[in-house]
Amino acid sequence: MNLKDYIRSIPDYPKKGILFRDITTLIKDENAFAETINQIVERSKNSNLQKLQLLSLEALFLHQLFLIF
């Protein structure tokens, strides 16, 4: 499965010259989202990670709001 097929590219958003990658289409598709998680797990098995920290979507959203204002 090519996960890039599930990521929308929005040119000039939020301003000219920026290519915004929208992953909501990937998250909404159950099979694509499951494959995303599987790929993250498989890739992390071969690394020397001791801990993996993930940010919630809410935290990312709030961070973006602070950058705008």
Q: Of 45 and 67, which is predicted with more confidence? A: 45
Class of residue 23 by CB neighbours under 10 A (exposed 0-12, middle 13-18, buried 19+): middle
What mean pLDDT value characterizes the chain? 80
Q: Of 2 and 53, which is predicted with more confidence? A: 2
Render pLDDT for 7-40 as a digit per residue (tens, 0 to 9): 899 999 999 999 998 888 888 999 998 998 888 7
Q: What is the pTM of this model?
A: 0.61
Separation between Cα atoms, residue 54 and residue 36, nearest integer Å? 14
**Cα 34 off chain centre by:** 13
- DSSP class of residue 48? -
Residue 4 pLDDT > 80, yes or no?
Answer: yes
Model pLDDT, residue 40: 78
